[in-house]
Amino acid sequence: MASDRIDTVERDGLVLDVGDVGPLDGPVAVLLHGWPADSSCWSEVVPRLVEGGLRVLTLDQRTVAPGARPRGRRAYRMPALVADVVALLDRLGSDPVHLVGHDWGGAVAWSLADAHPDRLASLTVLSTPHPRAMAESLLRSPQLLRSAYVGLFQLPVVPEVLLGANGGAVLRSVLRRSGLGPDHAERYADRLADADARRASLGWYRGVPLSAGEVAGSIGVPTAYMWSTGDTALDRTAAERTAAHVTGPYRFEVLEGSHWLPEEHPAAVADLIVEQVALPAR
């Protein structure tokens, strides 16, 4: 495992920013944020993991890092997002890591666990169900309605205008109504005040139709999945169907609260990750 701190990772002409704290010789946890967050979503989780003896790396993914905002929908296909994380794992070395993802970071984590199971010691996903469970739920639950905003985000120009309107007031309101605390809502909306940041952030959603044939399969690595009862974006049906797509050791945790698990429940999230790290090696 790399014995020097990592602050950036470069791939395909892009530069992604990395936070790297904790003991250099500790088990490694790599944390992937979602939309419209950045790695600051883990600000209350990371110290708890470090106290547990982990080396923790947080990646500002493609769309967020100023040096990683390519143009065009194809640049945000799932294989490209996965390859960014693999580039970080390559910098770290050959030892398997404990991968954690929330929201879009969870989607990337599922796909990486499918494509590169040998790179992972464990997988922890927050909020985001397995993509096949998500697809199955669309016609079996209110999930299609909850995902309607994804269709809106496919439109050109309009979503950027809405997200930037009145200094980001619309986005702040939506985030706060969904349960995100005011400080985080303010920070995420302020980051998207930049027009290029707004355009890039929507790349994740606009790349979805181009990744339709690359959905993750069954997951064999030890997996923990945490979902919250007040999640306005992700329905319980998909959460419960996720178990059918994990063949390895599996743990499903349900919390009371909103979609924003790292910000709202940092202690529970950190405890779950530490417990995954403590599992016997495969």
Tell me which residues are annotated as active site: 103, 205, 259
Neighbours of 51 (CB within 10 A): 11
Q: Cα separation of 64 and 146, whole Å?
A: 24
Extract the tokens encoding 223.
């997996």
**Beta bridge pairs of residue 252:** 225
**Three-state secondary-structure class, residue 31:** strand
Neighbours of 175 (CB within 10 A): 23
State whether the Cα torsion 46-21-274-188 is positive or negative.
positive
- Cα dihedral value 41, 80, 251, 103, nearest 10: 40
CA neighbor of 45 nearest in space, from 213, 265, 202, 249: 265
Q: How far is CA 153 from CA 41, 70, 157, 159, in A?
A: 22, 17, 9, 6
Q: Where are the alpha helices (DSSP H) in 138-281?
A: 143-146, 148-152, 158-164, 169-177, 182-191, 195-201, 203-206, 236-241, 261-264, 266-277
